[in-house]
Chains A and B, each alone.
Chain A
Amino acid sequence: MDLRRLKWWRLEQRAKPPMRRIQALWGSLAALAGIAVVVAILVPFRAHLAEATCALVLVVPVVIGVGIGGFQAGLVAVAGGFLAYDYFFIPPYGTLSVGSRQNYLALAVYLAVMVAVARIVARLQAVRAEAAQRADSARRLFELSDVLITERPLDQLSHVIASTLQGAFGFDGVALLLAHGQGAGLRVGAAVGEAIDATALSLLGSTLGTPASLVRVSPPVRLGGRLPGRQRVTVPLVAMGEAVGALVVVGRALRADERQLLSTYANQAALALERARLRAQVIESEVLAEAERWQRALMGAVSHDLRTPLATITAAVSDLRELGASLLARDRDELLGLIESQSDRLARLVTSLLDMTRIQSGALAARPEPAVLAELVEEAVQALVRTEVPGRLVVELEEPEALVLADHALVVQVLTNLLDNAALHAPEAGAIEVSSRQVGGRVEISVADRGPGVAPADRERVFSMYSKTSGAGRAGLGLAIVKAFVEAHGERVRLEDRSGGGARFVFSLKLAEPSALDEPGEARGVVSPRRAG
């Protein structure tokens, strides 16, 4: 199953490339025209000129003809020149008969010289053309290879290969078929230029079946391009002994050197495609690994954050059960209070965890509606009423009655989590400050504490799910939820330094149009029942 043996497998091959014949025709015509001109100029003076002079001048159009059209044109030119010489310049003029013997000699010399000249010029021409071809091949190969160096995704690379090939060779159409994997058949990776019609390609695909069976295709499949001088070529792309696909090109017939070039290029393209495919595999496995890491982080955060309140509840309950009556009334109350506040915390966590999952899965979208800023803050504080937060709170809102666009439930959750976080990290009984100020069309709301603060390098990580054990300190579920909910509003949350130490979390909300509540409709209907509740 040697694919390389079949580097060149032609489905359809027309005879000679047409270019040369066209050139020969032009060369012949040019030579004949030249002869006509020379004759027209020399005829008035022919009586005064030696026959040899005329013969010498007649060399010129022959050389021109050979130069343009090669040896074939040269032969035509020699024949034409010979006839013209005999007819116009060998007496008796106007006939093909030759007068004296001396004139036979002149004609013979002329003929011999002309043929020799045509030979030499034609050979020179051929050598020059070959050199030009080589230079051309080298240039094209360079251009082609150049585009393969850049790392590209597989599909983009396929397209680049196909279009570069088309440009470099002037093909009418190029299609690049990619192997799906061993035994899985071929698919069209890229197609440029004249469509190699789809039915034919699918036919090719089904005929070829697996890439390995490229070698066994026997009946040539007829595809478009039945014009004379056109051919279709299929080149298997083989890298490291494995077929990675095939190139199908339709266009003019190729010279031998071009075929060599196309073959070389196909090898390079195959390697580049294989590389791109392997890279895609690596990327895919990296993405999977990243997803897995994320999931582990989420699990870690969830279990840590759910377990923290549970630890207090379990410890407090076992105290009450064991020590019961022997506890001081104050201590018993405090333990019960802890159980209540931690149960609330647990409930909040579960709710917001569900909300976040729904938002991230797209099942729940934030629905911002006009809301009174002070009321959002109040409700968040209310949720923490059984904790120490309310006693430590300092609220300074720039314009408490400002209307902001907020999804009520989500923003209350954001504030609750930020307050909870502040209470957790501020020194015991230290003040927690909530403030707001208007900036442009937005309100910036901040929650600040006098805790240890967060190093600038860790400020982004604080909002990630990575659990506290990773060393980021404040990270965990609560702040990840804050970030998700604020971003669901199309807004941002950031963490700042506080002058004098501590952390300040700032998030923004858009200001609602002042008239939003005056208009009849949803806005009023939504806000008022909440106020009642």
Chain B
Amino acid sequence: MAKILVVDDDPSLRKALSIGLQARGYALVATGNGEDGVVQAALSQPDVVVLDLGLPDVDGIEVCRRIRSFSGAPIIVLSASGEEQRKIQALDSGADDYVTKPFSMPELEARLRVALRHAEAQQPGRAEEAQRLVVGSLVIDLVHHEASHNGRSLELTAREFDLLAYLAKNAGKVCTHHLILQHVWGPQYQQETHYLRVYSHRLRRKLGDWDGTMLRTHPGIGYQLVAE
């Protein structure tokens, strides 16, 4: 049974979430403030953290950063629409995904499932398998710079490979434009988001991902690689 930590200052939403998630078979820990949220993240070892950005005591982004400093558990951020900048900040501070308020329970559960799947895939045998990344049917050999999809080898340029490898390393996480550009192209390219549009298009074509369900676009925010 996966354990979810919910950090939100609105008691009614906490209650609605706990009823819904428990009925779906999750174990739940809930708290209303950031300090307690950080403590619970350490004590109860949740599998996923659901974190509201507008907390009364500590800024949600700071909570994100603190939890990330000791825990690898995926963090799904709750925020209002129109707060794109805050979402990006949160993702840059270690959050993995976000849900825009108001949201339906199936929507949240879908995100939880993605987060849990990728967290599981990454944990076992991390050390020995560091040369090989597997995301669903996608296999990336970091040593030989080779990638295959459904057993079929992919013809990638060096930059395309780097981009795919970076997204695969962070599979399930929404990677902001800023982070991708910095890691794949270099710090001086942080503003060149049009590179990403071009390269993501090429990657999708080569992966046969025509509807973008595998390499997801988050408009204005970033990209996310999700196992089908």
Chain A interface size range: 35 or more
A315-B104, A467-B54 given; A335·B24 CB < 8 A: no
A20 to chain B, nearest CB (A): 77
Which secondary structure dominates where chain A touches chain B?
helix
Roughly how many angstroms separate A328 CA and B32 CA in the complex, as a whole number?
A: 25
B53 A308 Cβ-Cβ under 8 A: no
Shortest beta-carbon distance from B26 to chain A in Å: 13
| Residues of chain B with a CB closer than 8 A to A312's CB | 10, 12-13, 15-16
CB distance from A387 to the nearest CB of B (A): 8
Mark interface residues in B22-38 (1 if CB within 8 Å of A CB, else 0).
Answer: 01100000001100000
CB-CB under 8 A from A326, the residues of chain B are: 23
Quick check: is A471 within 8 A (CB to CB) of the other chain?
A: yes
Specify which of B16, B83, B86, B103 is in contact with A338 (CB 8 Å cutoff). B16
Contact B13 A308 (CB under 8 A): yes
A495: min CB distance to chain B, Å: 14
The answer to whether residues A331 and B33 also contact, given A311-B101, A428-B11, A452-B56 and a CB cut-off of 8 A, is: no
Let me know if A518 is at the binding interface, CB within 8 A. no
Residues of A within 8 A of B56 (CB): 425, 452, 468, 473-474
A338→B101 CA distance, assembly (Å): 16
Decide: A313 and B80 in contact? CB cutoff 8 A: no
Whether B20 contacts A469 by the Cβ 8 Å rule is no
Given A323-B24, A428-B11, is A316 in contact with B16 using a C-beta cutoff of 8 Å?
Answer: yes
Tell me the bound Cα distance from A326 to B22 in angstroms: 12
| A469-B54 contact given A308-B13, A315-B16, CB 8 Å threshold | yes
CB pair B103 A311 closer than 8 Å: yes
Q: A304-B80, A319-B20, A469-B53 are in contact. Are A424 and B9 (CB under 8 A)?
A: yes
Residue A206, interface by CB 8 Å:
no
Of A310, A423, A452, A469, the most chain B CB neighbours within 10 A belong to A469
- Give CA–CA (A291, B94) in the complex, Å: 35
Give residues 296-344 of A contacting B (CB, 8 Å): 303-304, 307-319, 322-323, 326-328, 331, 334-335, 338, 341-342
Q: Which residue of B lies closest to A335 (CB)?
A: B19
Q: Is the beta-carbon distance between A319 and B54 smaller than 8 angstroms?
A: no
Number of interface residues of B (CB under 8 A): 34
Complex alpha-carbon distance, A320 and B83, angstroms: 29
On chain A, the residues within 8 Å of B12 by CB distance are 309, 312, 338, 341-342
Which residues of the partner chain B approach A474 to less than 8 Å between Cβ atoms? 56
Please, which residues of chain B bring their CB within 8 A of the CB of A452?
33, 56-57
Q: Are A310 and B82 in contact (CB under 8 A)?
A: no
A314 touches B102 (CB 8 A): yes
Residues of B within 8 A of A318 (CB): 20, 104-107
A311 and B105 contact, CB distance less than 8 A: no
Q: Which residues of A contact B80 (CB under 8 A)?
A: 303-304, 307
- Roughly how many angstroms separate A508 CA and B57 CA in the complex, as a whole number? 28
Are A313 and B102 touching (Cβ within 8 A)? yes
Output the nearest chain A residue to B109 by Cβ-Cβ distance: A322
B17 within 8 A of A: yes
A308 to B, closest residue via Cβ:
B10
Please tell me which one of the listed residues B20, B32, B86 contacts residue A315 in the complex, with CB atoms under 8 A apart. B20
Q: Does B84 contact A (CB under 8 A)?
A: no
Closest B residue, CB atoms, query A299: B82
Task: Assess the A471–B59 pair: CB atoms within 8 A.
Answer: yes
**How distant is the Cα of A421 from the Cα of B217 in the complex, in angstroms?**
39
Chain A residues near B13 (CB-CB < 8 A)? 308, 311-312, 315
Question: Is the CB–CB distance between B105 and A319 below 8 Å?
Answer: yes
**Cα-based distance from A423 to B9 in the complex (angstroms):** 11
Greatest chain B CB density within 10 A among A308, A309, A322, A335 is at: A308
Query: Complex Cα distance A58/B84, Å?
Result: 103
User: Chain A, 73-104, contact with B by CB distance < 8 Å: what is the 0/1 string?
Assistant: 00000000000000000000000000000000
A→B interface (CB under 8 Å): 303-304, 307-319, 322-323, 326-328, 331, 334-335, 338, 341-342, 388, 423-425, 428, 452, 467-469, 471, 473-474
A-B contact pairs, 27 of them (CB 8 A): A307-B80, A308-B10, A308-B13, A311-B10, A311-B78, A312-B10, A314-B102, A315-B13, A315-B16, A315-B17, A315-B108, A318-B106, A319-B20, A319-B23, A319-B105, A323-B24, A327-B19, A328-B23, A331-B19, A338-B12, A338-B16, A342-B12, A424-B10, A425-B56, A428-B11, A469-B86, A473-B56
17 further interface pairs, Cβ-Cβ under 8 Å (given A326-B23, A452-B57): A308-B10, A310-B101, A314-B102, A314-B103, A316-B16, A316-B19, A318-B105, A319-B105, A322-B106, A331-B23, A335-B16, A338-B15, A338-B16, A424-B11, A425-B56, A428-B11, A473-B57
